[in-house]
Chains A and B, each alone.
Chain A
Amino acid sequence: MVEFSHLTKTYKKRNVVDDFSLAVDVPIFGFLGQNGAGKTTVMKMIVGLLQPTAGAIMLDGKASCDVASKRRMGYMPETPYFYERMTGLAFMRFCDELVGARGGNRTAHYEALLKRTGIYEARNAEVRTYSKGMRQRLGFAQALVGDPEYLFLDEPLDGLDPLGRREMKEVMLTLKKEGRKIFLNTHILYDVEEVCDEMGVIHEGRLLYAGSVKKFCAGKPLEEQFVATVIAQGKT
């Protein structure tokens, strides 16, 4: 379970994440919000790239930025950047070494991940030759290194073509069947409707809703409800 308690992040006296409390314990949780709503900031705090100004994030009762917690999580940043002169395979090997996973055939492990995310054919090409979609796939693949129980994916479907999006969503659903838990940041409503068990809506750093997608929609299209919720918040 991922628990956020009174999480706050302040930049120049402005709360970009404001007293955010939430407990997530579903296979796929969609975190929805406009650009700049605070989704990425929350995710960066989960993986320890940013320090909260106040509050805490726990992963099964332990601080999420602890080394022990980090061993159990995979993270894919928004718009992944790589070492441009490294090959996809070399990058996976580097990530595998950092995760410190042992046992079995390690090369076979990350080659399987490259196959799973559809980037295997380009494994020996340098990353600088990759398209945006290929980079997204490699970013997704590296998050899976070490078989993490929790996956934190920040806009993983950005830059993918329709077929690529379909493939990645299928990968997420397969991961769900394997018992992994996914925390998915997105601003694409359709993705949430399609793959998420529960969702949260964040706006200007505040959590407006957390619960099932169906309940949020209340028989209306998700887009309509999302816009209505955000506009209603703006008026208060």
Chain B
Amino acid sequence: MRNIFIVAKNTFKLELRDKILYGIIVFALLYIFFELFLADLVLKELPMVKSFGLTGIYFFNAIIALFLGTTSFFKDVDRKVVYFILSKPVSRAQFLLGKFVGLCAVLLLTTAILGVAYLGLIAYNHGGFDALGLLAIVMQYLEMALFIAFALFVSTFSSSLLSIVYTSAVFFLGHIVSSLVADAQVIGITGIQYRFVQVFYYIFPNLEKFDVRALAIHNVAVPLTSFAFALTYAVVYVAFLLAASVWIFTKKEI
């Protein structure tokens, strides 16, 4: 546990020195503050302001998660910095889990920065404290943690560039898998083809489970069961991905 914390702390510190990360955060903040003008444009119509704000946080966090997940671990292995780390009394599992925790901590910080900017903006526009917006941000964070775990998993067996391609593809697929089964039923696909769609549905992460932005924007309460299910789903899926990543990384020749 101690080694995981040390690797996580180091990852957190190193990633925060990355100028690319700062660039993304600055762009995200500019986008959120741009809403001040947008709010005037839409006559301070809160749902519009909320929609732009939450989507912006989601979009920029997805970029940050993709950037962190596909580069950080891969760079350490590819540039052979792991030689120093793994020759010390540190297991590969500890190193990989430490990277995951460190990257999630960076993402937590960026989410907090953007979240505070968003909540401040909503309060400024007389929307009060947007508790549902906060819940939507928390659920977006869970999705991004899963996204990082997937990127790490892919990084254990492919290059950084391919990781970006695979992870982006899964991000896209993760948002359409739930409608795939429904569409297959509507179209009337049966037999082996339907089984294939089902396999697809169960293998890829269902990222729609984390999307409560529409409810938050229109002030519709999010059922506690939805949140509990999303949390459990994220924990189980992340645990599975990390276990698979550790298994692959342990066997990898470095």
Residues in A lying within 8 Å of B, measured CB to CB = 47-51, 67, 70-71, 73, 75, 77, 79-83, 85-86, 94-95, 97-100, 142
A39, B90: Cα distance in complex, Å = 23
Q: A150 to nearest B CB, angstroms?
A: 12
Contact between A98 and B83 (Cβ–Cβ < 8 Å)? Answer: no
Q: Which residues of B contact A50 (CB under 8 A)?
A: 253-254
Partner of A85, one of B14, B89, B253: B14
Partner of A75, one of B6, B87, B253: B87
Q: Does B116 contact A (CB under 8 A)?
A: no
Contact between B88 and A81 (Cβ–Cβ < 8 Å)? Answer: no
Contact between B88 and A70 (Cβ–Cβ < 8 Å)? Answer: yes
Q: Which residues of B contact A85 (CB under 8 A)?
A: 14, 17
Contact between A142 and B89 (Cβ–Cβ < 8 Å)? Answer: no
Partner of A49, one of B7, B81, B83, B91: B83
Interface residues of B in 83-138 (CB under 8 A from A): 83-91
Q: Which of B80, B88, B90, B254 has the most CB of A within 10 A?
A: B88
A94-B81 contact in complex given A47-B87, A83-B14, A85-B14, C-beta closer than 8 Å = no
A97, B89: Cα distance in complex, Å = 10
A79, B79: Cα distance in complex, Å = 11
Contact between B10 and A82 (Cβ–Cβ < 8 Å)? Answer: no
Chain B interface residue bracket vs A: 20 to 34
Majority secondary structure, A binding face: loop
Contact between B87 and A81 (Cβ–Cβ < 8 Å)? Answer: no
A85, B90: Cα distance in complex, Å = 22
Q: Which residue of A lies closest to B90 (CB)?
A: A98
Interface residues of B in 7-59 (CB under 8 A from A): 7, 10, 14, 17
Contact between B14 and A98 (Cβ–Cβ < 8 Å)? Answer: no
Q: Which residue of A lies closest to B82 (CB)?
A: A49
Contact between A70 and B87 (Cβ–Cβ < 8 Å)? Answer: yes
Q: B86 to nearest A CB, angstroms?
A: 6
Q: Which residues of A contact B10 (CB under 8 A)?
A: 83, 94
Q: Which residues of A contact B254 (CB under 8 A)?
A: 49-50
A82, B81: Cα distance in complex, Å = 5
Contact between A142 and B86 (Cβ–Cβ < 8 Å)? Answer: no
Q: B204 to nearest A CB, angstroms?
A: 32
Q: Which residues of A contact B2 (CB under 8 A)?
A: 100
A78, B79: Cα distance in complex, Å = 12
Contact between A49 and B84 (Cβ–Cβ < 8 Å)? Answer: no
Contact between B86 and A48 (Cβ–Cβ < 8 Å)? Answer: yes
Contact between A67 and B14 (Cβ–Cβ < 8 Å)? Answer: no
